[in-house]
Structure 1
Amino acid sequence: MAEPEHLDVLVLGSGQAGNLIAWHMAKSGSRTALVERRWIGGSCPNIACMPSKNEVWSARIAHLVHHAGQFGTLTTPGKTDMAQVRQRKRDMVAGEVAAFRAGFKSSGAELIEGSGRFIAPKALEVQLNAGGTRILTGDTVFLNIGTHSAMPPIAGLEAAKPLTHIDILEIDYVPSHLIVLGGGYVGLEFAQAYRRFGSRVTVIESAPQIIGREDADSAEAITQILSDEGIRILTSANVVKVEGQSGRTITLTLRGAAGEERLEASDILVATGRVPNTAGIGLETAGVALDSRGYIQVNDRLETTAPDVWALGECAGSPQFTHVSVDDFRIVRDNLAGGHRSTTDRLTPSCVFTDPPLAHVGLRERDAQRQGIPVRVAKMPTGAVVRTHTTGEKLGFMKALVGEDDRILGFTMIGAEAGEVMAAVQTAMLAGLPYRKLRDAVIAHLTMAEGLGPLLENVPPRAAV
């Protein structure tokens, strides 16, 4: 058996937070090692955010070429070369991974490639990818082990070898008919991308609406946008059986409000949620408790139930966004230095990278109603923003929720550059500014953010007391 090697800091998982904490601790003088079994840099640059948005952008270019005649450019009918789409993505990923490897080299943190399993509190046995075993112990341990795609318990689904968000990024063909199980962020982004590449696409969602966490008007708008592009969206529909094999021919039997239906397709993508990577790695041996969903149990400082063991990112139940993982790192870093940072007081934005995108920050209208929070709602079509008169990107709307104290409590936008406009509103919210400050700001013409002025002009007056 390998002799134990003692470290000041031991990190399991090379996600955004794990990398940052490893580099920070190493630069601070701690002897630090990070163990990663496969994805150097984590899921974001390898198999999730960045590669998916890379292909979403390729699909947008295909869409623009298809509609180029509207802008006075004459083209021959376009054809998607998925092998080139995939290579463009692969080239980007290779560059990102190289940058992460360089980060370990420059920081002094050791990158150990292998699979780790706890054999005692704060002690890992690592089966090295290159062969052999190492036993590592650490004074302080950080867990950043992420999640993986959920596989719903549908008869025949697993045997059909469906695509996951990882697999679909590696195909070199355009499916003739792609069925997407799940109407969340991932499912909708890929549904639109592959429709634009040339696939027939059907989205199946078991809930009454797609993007279930959003307000009904947002779901309705995105449904209309995708439907207008030729995507069939089925809600309140449950798949009960899958036959065949993805990549060849598959048949789905589903039940909905209209009864039972059979759908035939060439490929199926499963995008129905995430499962934490907490099973089978000895967390119980390490004294690290899990919650009822299998996520690592943490307090608002991201401390686990084991002394000197912290969990960061998705595995700790944090919102599943890279920017939240980065903030988890900042919270832990500052608390290790004697700070009092918490996960409970942060303002977390989100963005669905459909085209146009859906961006949101703060309170949603339905949540305000549910919680009994009085708000004044201002809403305006994105097409009322003057910039859209020049670009033609008029789909969607802007919506702001304003509290009784005149502060902005929430903002949603579906429209071109929605994420960037949202960031301006988020800044005002963080500063606690009354909405009039943003309404009356001199914002550059012609920008999408210029629409915030007329939007906030629509804020209703306070209700008479």
Structure 2
Amino acid sequence: MKEAKKQTFDAIIIGSGQAGNPLAFALAGQKMNVAMIEKGKFGGTCVNTGCTPTKAYVASARRAWEIRNASDLGIPNPKLEKVDLRKVKERKDKIVAGSHDGLVDGLRKESRITTFQAKGFFIDEKTVQAGSSILTAPNIFINVGTRPRIPQGFEEVEYLTNESILELEELPDHLLIVGGSYIGLEFAQIFRRLGSKVTIIEMSGRLISKEDPDISVRIREILESEGIKVLCNSHCLEGKNNPKGGVTVLMNCGGEQKQASGSHLLLATGRQSNVDLINAPAAGLKVDVKGFVQVNDTLETNVKGIYALGDCNGKGAFTHTSYNDFEVLKNQLFGDKKRKVSDRILNYALYTDPPLGRAGMTLAQAKKSEKKILFAEMEMSQINRAREKGETKGKMQVIVDQETEQILGVAVLGIGGDEIIGIFLTAMYGKLSYKTLMNSIQTHPTVTELIPTLLQQLKPLNASS
């Protein structure tokens, strides 16, 4: 068999995600010839199976909820016929296709970018195989992302992941969700609002255990108020297919053997790195125990000329952190070399309804620090705008360094929380005194007008309290 001829490029990118795509165009803009390798759909998780499609589903579920609850605002409650999941999916597919097709078109029009629709893996530190093609370049960028993690005990069960559940065309009668973190909770509320019965099964003692306990409690109350059943402290989980269809999850809840049966099972038990698919040892790359490529503060690996961006480097698990990786690397390659990964402030949102916006430290983390802390919280029910909208669930919390007067952390659980968090982030990145926000005049009537009032309530926090 004739050996494949090596194709030489200035740069190779493995993975077409939220860091890899803009990087390809940036490199091409510097007159570099780029090989872009993608084993799945161009655009990565966010465009195809993550943010874009799931938020389209969130919007459809929200509209169904609004119709069912119209009478709360004095409007006769119209009858909502059974939701047609096929129509919801068609809308999602159209939105996804617009983003995906636009990207593919852009890649193909750029003469300096050559695309390879194949699995890419290292042969050595400067050589990558993509399908039957052998590629070499002095600079290689890894942007391979993550995939759903399937826990032991469920390998032989008929299950859904965050990807396959988006392809359903009929609503589940009863959706079991193993995993009470961000992905699981979003899908729980989506399918409950669309008309499915939903049960969440979580191993730990509370939902989204990375959050402060009171936030976890509030979110559980919100979900349960919509008829979602929550089973925490569910250990020794195992799934089995039922003879007549459906799935049963067996669990040991506090020493008592229990089980839950449903028509469908969604496994939302976290993500695992795709680095195991690219033969990292062949390039001499250091990979940590969780499977993430180890990188420095400017995203270079232990091998000169090889960089890792996005979820696969363990430095973030969000679209915005992946894109920031691109911005850091672009600055290091073509800019003043001042930007680095450690500059960014952790922030994200949980897209339940109401959403949770989070930035910086949690309260638990603040208590463990050696800083003198100021803390304040206020109920969303104290905001006129929230009352007028009839959406008063949740609260705001803010953590401040008493000595520097800078905001260290914020949680906004409530209507508009995913947007409001941006105001606090601006102050945090600008290293503003909290007093600047406290003395600001926010527009009335809005939810953000609570921010100055919230900051006026700041009091010293006892670390032991």
| Matches of 1:356 and 1:247, distance apart in 2 | 37
2:7 equivalent to 1:5: yes
Percent identity between matched residues is: 33
Distance 2:59 2:5 in 1: 49
Q: Please report how far the alpha carbon of residue 331 of structure 1 lies from its aligned counterpart in structure 2 after TM superposition.
A: 0.8
Question: Counterpart of 1:20 in structure 2: which amino acid?
Answer: P
Which of 338, 349, 352 in structure 2 is aligned with 1:351?
Answer: 349
Greater Cα offset, 383-392 or 89-98: 383-392
Aligned to 1:412, the other structure's residue is in SS state: strand
1:367 alignment partner in structure 2? 365
Aligned to 1:27: 29
Where does residue 391 of structure 2 map in the other structure? 393
Output the amino acid matched with 1:283: A
2:160 aligned residue (143, 163, 172) = 163
Q: Which residue of 2 aligns with 1:90?
A: 93
Q: Is 2:212–2:364's contact at 8 Å kept on the other side of the alignment?
A: yes
TM-score, structure 1 normalization: 0.95
Which runs of 5 or more structure 1 residues have no equivalent in the other structure?
Answer: 128-132
8 Å CA contact 2:328, 2:339 repeated in 1 = yes
| 1:73 Cα deviation after fit | 4.1
Work out whether 1:119 is the aligned partner of 2:119: no
Q: 1:143 to 1:367 in 2, by over 3 A?
A: same
Deviations 1:10-46 (A, max 9, x none): 1000001001111100011101121001121111010
Deviations 1:207-243 (A, max 9, x none): 1111111111110100100011111111111243221
Pick one of 4, 13, 16 that aligns with 1:14.
Answer: 16
- SS, match of residue 284 in structure 1: helix
Residue in 2 that maps onto 1:326: 323
Please give the secondary structure, in 2, of the residue aligned with 1:125.
strand
Q: Which residue of 2 aligns with 1:206?
A: 203
Residue aligned with 1:399, SS: strand
Q: CA deviation at 1:138?
A: 0.8
Mind listing any 5+ residue stretches in structure 2 that lack a counterpart?
none
CA contact (8 A) 1:161 1:246 kept: no
2:440 is equivalent to residue 438 of structure 1: no
Within-5 A mapping of 1:121-136:
121-127=125-131, 133-136=132-135
Q: Which amino acid aligns with 1:81?
A: D
User: In the alignment, residue 397 of structure 1 is paired with which amino acid?
Assistant: K
1:189–1:327 CA distance, 2 compared to 1 (3 A):
same
Q: Deviations over 1:257-297 (max 9, x none)?
A: 26111211111100001110011422111121211111111
The answer (yes or no) to whether the contact 1:290–1:296 under 8 Å persists in 2 is yes
- Aligned 8 A contact 1:159 1:245 in 2: no
Residue by residue, what CA displacement relative to the aligned partner does 1:241-262 show, whole Å, maximum 9, x if unpaired? 2211699321221111261112
User: Displacement, 1:301?
Assistant: 1.2
1:111-144: CA deviations, max 9, x gaps?
A: 22111121122211111xxxxx211111111000
TM-score by length of 2: 0.95
Change in CA separation of 1:293 and 1:461 when aligned onto 2, cut-off 3 Å: closer
1:212/1:119 CA distance change after superposition, 3 Å:
same
Q: Residues 144, 245 of structure 1: CA spacing in aligned structure 2 closer, same or farther, 3 A cutoff? A: farther
Are 1:274 and 2:277 matched, yes or no? no
> CA offset at residue 199 of structure 1?
1.1
Q: Are 1:246 and 1:266, in contact at CA under 8 Å, matched by a contact in 2?
A: no
Q: CA deviation at 1:373?
A: 2.8
- Greater mean alpha carbon deviation, residues 231-240 or residues 183-192: 231-240
Q: How many residues align?
A: 456
* Structure-2 separation of matches of 1:271 and 1:2: 41
The question of whether the paired residues in 1 share the 8 Å contact of 2:372 and 2:460 is answered with no
Helix, strand or coil at the partner of 2:425: helix
Q: Residues 446 and 246 from structure 1, CA distance in 2 versus in 1: closer, same or farther, beyond 3 angstroms?
A: farther
Q: Which residue of 2 aligns with 1:232?
A: 229
Q: What one-letter code is carried by the residue in structure 2 that aligns with 1:136?
A: L
Q: Quote how far apart the aligned CAs of 1:447 are.
A: 1.5
Shift of 1:460: 1.9
Q: In the alignment, which of 38, 44, 47 is matched to residue 45 of structure 1?
A: 47
Over 3 Å counting, the alpha-carbon distance change for 1:246 and 1:209 in structure 2 is: farther
When structure 1 is superposed on structure 2, of 248-257 and 145-154 the one drifting more is 248-257
2:70 is equivalent to residue 76 of structure 1:
no
**Following the alignment from structure 1 to structure 2, what is the Cα–Cα distance between the partners of residues 365 and 340?**
31
Q: 1:130 aligns to what?
A: none
- After superposition, the CA RMSD in angstroms is 1.6
The residue aligned with 2:310 is: 313
